Amino acid sequence: MADGLVAAVTELLADRPTSMPSRLAEAVRRQCAVEHVALVSFDGADCSILAAAGLDLLAVGTTAPAALSTRLVRALECKPWSSPDLAREQAFDRPIDQLAAALGIRSGASVPICAAGQAIGAVLLSSTTAGRSWAEEIRRVDAVTGLIALGLGIGREPGEPLRVVVIHRDPLTAHGLARVVERGLPAQVELAVGPWDPDLADRVSAADVIIAEAGALGSAELPSNDAGTANRRLVLITDDSGVQPAEPVSRGAGTVVSRGAALTELIPAVARAVGRPDPPWPPSSAATLTSRERELLIELCTGSTYKQIATRLGLSTATVRGYSRNLYAKLDVHSRGEAVHRASQAGLTAR
Q: Is residue 350 part of a domain?
A: no
Asked whether residue 249 falls in the same domain as residue 307, the answer is no
Asked whether residue 254 falls in the same domain as residue 305, the answer is no
Residue 228 has pLDDT above 80, yes or no: no
Confidence of residue 350 (pLDDT cuts 50, 70, 90): very low
Q: State the CATH number of the domain containing residue 64.
A: 3.30.450.40
| Percent of the chain clearing pLDDT 70 (strictly above) | 80
Confidence of residue 37 (pLDDT cuts 50, 70, 90): very high
Instruction: Report the pLDDT averaged over residues 255-275.
Output: 80
Give the lowest-confidence range in 65-69, 116-120, 249-253, 260-264: 249-253
pLDDT digits (tens, 9 = 90+) for 140-196: 898 888 889 888 888 777 677 888 999 888 888 889 999 999 888 888 999 987 777
Q: State the CATH number of the domain containing residue 289.
A: 1.10.10.10
Phi, psi of 307 (to 5 degrees): -65, -45
Give the lowest-confidence range in 78-92, 110-124, 320-334: 320-334
Asked whether residue 215 falls in the same domain as residue 332, the answer is no
Q: Rounded to whole angstroms, how far apart are CA atoms 285 and 331?
A: 6
**In the Cβ-directed half-sphere of 156, how many Cα atoms lie within 13 Å?**
20
Q: Rounded to whole angstroms, how far apart are CA atoms 223 and 192?
A: 13
Q: What angle do CA 169, 175, 180 make, to 5 degrees?
A: 125
Neighbours of 244 (CB within 10 A): 14
Asked whether residue 148 falls in the same domain as residue 216, the answer is no
Asked whether residue 49 falls in the same domain as residue 133, the answer is yes
Q: Rounded to whole angstroms, how far apart are CA atoms 1 and 324?
A: 33
Give the lowest-confidence range in 23-37, 130-144, 167-181, 294-308: 294-308
Q: Rounded to whole angstroms, how far apart are CA atoms 191 and 202?
A: 12
Residue 250 has pLDDT above 60, yes or no: no
- What pLDDT shows up at residue 288? 65
Confidence of residue 323 (pLDDT cuts 50, 70, 90): confident
Q: Rounded to whole angstroms, how far apart are CA atoms 222 and 285?
A: 29
Q: Rounded to whole angstroms, how far apart are CA atoms 308 and 246?
A: 37
**Chain mean pLDDT for the chain:** 79
Asked whether residue 19 falls in the same domain as residue 122, the answer is yes
Q: Is residue 116 part of a domain?
A: yes
Confidence of residue 302 (pLDDT cuts 50, 70, 90): confident
* Cβ(119)–Cβ(44) below 8 Å: no
Asked whether residue 69 falls in the same domain as residue 10, the answer is yes
Where does a domain end: 274, 293, 319?
A: 274
Q: Is residue 351 part of a domain?
A: no
Provide the number of structural domains found in the chain.
3
Residue 7 has pLDDT above 60, yes or no: yes
Name the H helices within 118-219.
135-142, 145-152, 171-184, 200-206, 214-217
Give the lowest-confidence range in 165-174, 291-300, 304-313: 291-300
- What pLDDT shows up at residue 31? 93
Asked whether residue 167 falls in the same domain as residue 261, the answer is yes
Q: Rounded to whole angstroms, how far apart are CA atoms 345 and 301?
A: 12
Q: State the CATH number of the domain containing residue 216.
A: 3.40.50.2300
Residue 246, judged by CB atoms within 10 A of its CB (0-12, 13-18, 19+), counts as exposed
The side-by-side arrangement of strands in the sheet containing 36-43 is 63-65, 46-54, 36-43, 118-127, 107-115, 81-83
Residue 5 has pLDDT above 50, yes or no: yes
Asked whether residue 17 falls in the same domain as residue 147, the answer is yes
Where does a domain end: 245, 274, 303?
A: 274
Where does a domain end: 94, 121, 152?
A: 152
Domain, as residue range, for 323 = 283-345
Asked whether residue 218 falls in the same domain as residue 305, the answer is no
Name the helix (H) or strand (E) containing 324. Answer: helix 317-331
Asked whether residue 33 falls in the same domain as residue 143, the answer is yes
Asked whether residue 167 falls in the same domain as residue 265, the answer is yes
